[in-house]
Amino acid sequence: MMRRSMALAGLLGAVAVLLTAGILAAWMWPEKNISAQESSMKQGSVSQGLEESSRLEESLQQADSIPLKAEPDVAADYSGWAQAENGNWFYYRTGEKATGWIQLGTVWYLLSDNGAMQTGWQWYAGNWYYMDNSGAMRTGWVNDSSKWYYMDCSGAMMKGFIHDGNGWYYLDAEGVWQENYTDAEVTSSGRMIRIENGVAYVDGILIANKKYPLPKDYAPGRLTDEVQAALAEMQQAAAADGLNLYVVSGYRSYEYQGQLYQNYVKRDGQAAADRYSARPGYSEHQTGLAFDLNSTSNSFAGTPEAKWLAAHAQEYGFIIRYPKGKENVTGYQYEPWHLRYLGKEIAQAVYDSGLCLEEYLGIASYYTNE
């Protein structure tokens, strides 16, 4: 439309120039040198030019008032992208216009209710997303107006402490990275998260889950003395009830966890492995505060030992770290054999709450990067 308007405006300008030339000619050559017939012809030409100019201007206004098509015309069997005259892009599946989120290959796009492809910041289902100029959803770091934001692997803008796979960063309430931030983050339950030497603590409780990893060099080397003492006390109490509890997997280094995880991925695929095995740096076994007892088979659930642990572990400072029905919160399947040491007071409080540790502390557990 802009080119059409410019072209027509040029024609109007040309008419104006011709009219001006006629007026100048009448001034420069007085009427006494021109016959009455010539004068009448000249006046008629000027009048006719003015009328033509008026009609041209009217047709220009009418042309500019014609709206550009808001949607493209596509064949009934067309599939793919199509651009409307107003510049908006639409995606069609066999002639049907798509709306909402669509995935093409590995790329996600967000289409409005009327099907128009969205770009820039978009608010959707309680989260901010950033769609680049091609409409593709961005993940990872995004720079907008000289400010840095971080979008998790689902595209949602993050806030608070985040780990991008290389290091810790703090994003304020607007999602903007704040350099050299040393204060704490407040969780949804009002607790304080601090990062100390690359390790996340919530109200002093060391956290290692899918969102809060440990540094590669965090290596206590074995279960801590406090954990071993509490474990021995619990084993004695279980033995008094005729049960035998023993550790089948205790401390694991970053490197060893990586080997285990890769073996599981090769055997079952990454999606399945992520349900029962932590990626290196994200395992509680690396903390020296957690261990697996007796068997890591699902058949352990329902055994006398598993029932005893579910009822009494908190009395000795332990919790069943990945309880039944909490997979969507913890990020792991039910593991009645996996215990985490918190100390008797906190373990009892978590047990009494009926919550898993993430719910109790008000934190999330999901991989923010792939």
Tell me the angle at which helices 225-240 and 304-312 cross, rounded to the nearest 10 degrees: 120
* DSSP 8-state secondary structure symbol assigned to residue 242: T
Reference 210, options 162, 264, 267; nearest CA is 162
Burial of 176 (0-12, 13-18, 19+ CB in 10 A): middle
Tokens matching residue 120:
């820039």
The length of the chain is: 370
Using CA atoms, how far apart are residues 347 and 294, in angstroms rounded to an integer?
A: 21
- Annotated active-site residue in 71, 335, 345, 370: 335
Question: Which H or E run contains 141?
Answer: strand 140-144
* DSSP 8-state secondary structure symbol assigned to residue 125: T
Reference 155, options 112, 118, 124, 116; nearest CA is 124
State yes or no: is 335 an active-site residue. yes
Place of tokens 């088979």: 297
Q: Coil, strand or helix: which one is 237?
A: helix
Q: What residues act catalytically?
A: 335
